[in-house]
Amino acid sequence: MEKQVVIKIYGLVQGVAFRYDTQHLAKELDLKGWIKNESNGSVRIVVRGKEDGLKKLVDWCYQGPKSARVDKVELKWEEPVQKFNNFDIEF
């Protein structure tokens, strides 16, 4: 059964390849959704897939890429309502 989670990551998370590394991991884990930079400097992810893959992605978000500094992560688990074909970087 698929689940969906909205993740907001705060800290030094823009300009450090956070979106690209997240996209790569999401594809490895067969997750679908999107990631984008927010105007307040955070990164927002909406992702859907199997719970074990989602948990691995969530765990990774607490550290991110080597050059990132994650100060805070907010999670909101939801019933999957959107259908995604890929994991995309939104601009």
CATH code of the domain in which 62 resides: 3.30.70.100
Q: Which of 37, 44, 48, 86 is an active site residue?
A: 37
pLDDT of residue 81: 86
pLDDT of residue 9: 98
**7 is a domain residue:** yes
DSSP state of 75: E
**88 is a domain residue:** no
Specify the pTM: 0.96
Please report, as a single letter, which amino acid is at residue 52.
D
Model pLDDT for residues 1-59, shown as the tens digit of each residue = 899 999 999 999 999 999 999 999 999 999 999 999 999 999 999 999 999 999 999 99
Is-catalytic flag, 19?
A: yes
Q: Which of 19, 40, 85, 86 is an active site residue?
A: 19
Parent domain of 29? 2-82
**53 is a domain residue:** yes
Is-catalytic flag, 37?
A: yes
**37 is a domain residue:** yes
Number of domains in the chain: 1
pLDDT of residue 51: 96
**40 is a domain residue:** yes
DSSP letters, 13-66, are: -SSSSHHHHHHHHHHHTT-EEEEEE-TTS-EEEEEEEEHHHHHHHHHHHTT-ST
**89 is a domain residue:** no
